[in-house]
Chain A
């Protein structure tokens, strides 16, 4: 990271750290553990939903069901709990700005998250454009399977990066 960027990041973290909200979170012991627990539970919903979609695209889970119906069952459980993840994540960043924003594992996690959201959006886009996208017996499945494998890898990496934040703190 460039010196100028590092300096800006330091300044942002220092500013957040002295805000009343951050101070309040820092002194109230139960906030961070509680928020982390809610965060993990939301991850369970989001990641598992993404996993079931991906396994369906690969063709090992519910292969007989139209991809469209599998998408409509699980995609809302990817998008909506993200709000919980962003809210709990924001609280953790505000409470411990340096531990998150300056942490290489956190930065990696955010990069991977952007990629995962793009891929999930792509799956939804492909489905809207072609009602039979991902359905078996409709010709080449290379795109569906590739997208699914990339998605699985990204969500897995996000979970790993999330745990590693603690080790780079």
Chain B
């Protein structure tokens, strides 16, 4: 398969070989990955709980998102970079791993949910102010977000149990 050849090549790059051969490099990169995911999930939950009217109710939604989401994005970038580094060290096997593939699909879903929320709600968010109860579509987006990110963590853990 063409893509397997490309992935095979990726594994031969200097960085990929260094990670797969060095006994402590992978664990360190993985630990940073876990920390980053912890922060992505944790900070996204702050926003989702606000959209659901369950926490930070004295903060306007737009203000809260403006304050919290930069941390979410920074953590996500670190998660993506460390993820890519780990992936490269054993690309072919990861690419064929059910949980890894599922995790990528879920990440795409999370992105889609976020995009829809922003596109559909870009005008509304500013108007909500400190209203406690956001409109139903916003709450739906928050529920989807929480469910998807919980699934991302679940599938991520699944990778660890099924890669050998």
Contacts and interface: CB of A to CB of B under 8 A. Distances in A.
Contacts of B158: 33
Contact of B35 (A33, A49, A156): A156
A52 interface: yes
Interface in A36-62: 36-37, 40-41, 43-45, 47-49, 51-52, 61-62
A164 B56 CA distance: 34
Contacts of B150: 41
Nearest to A49: B42
Interface in B75-106: none
A48 B27 contact: no
Interface in B140-159: 150, 153-154, 157-158
Contacts of B38: 40, 43-44, 47-48, 159
B157 A44 contact: no
Q: Which of A41, A47, A61, A167 has the most CB of B within 10 A?
A: A41
A45 B41 CA distance: 8
A41 B40 CA distance: 11
Nearest to B35: A159
Nearest to B37: A44
Contact of B27 (A37, A43, A49, A163): A163
Chain A contact residues: helix, strand, loop or mixed: helix
A2 interface: no
A36 B42 CA distance: 17
Contacts of B35: 156, 159-160
A163 B39 contact: no
B62 interface: no
B27 A51 contact: no
Interface string A63-90: 0000001000100000000000000000
Given A61-B67, A62-B67, A160-B35, A44 B27 contact: no
Contact of A40 (B46, B71, B157, B161): B157
A163 B30 contact: yes
B11 interface: no
Interface string A101-113: 0000000000000
Given A37-B153, A49-B42, A163-B31, 4 more contacts: A41-B150, A44-B41, A62-B67, A160-B31
5 contacts: A37-B153, A40-B38, A40-B153, A51-B39, A159-B35
A-B pairs, top 7 by smallest CB distance, nearest first, are: A48-B42, A44-B41, A44-B42, A160-B31, A163-B31, A44-B38, A37-B157
Interface of B: 27, 30-31, 34-35, 37-39, 41-43, 45-46, 55-56, 58, 67, 71, 150, 153-154, 157-158, 160-161
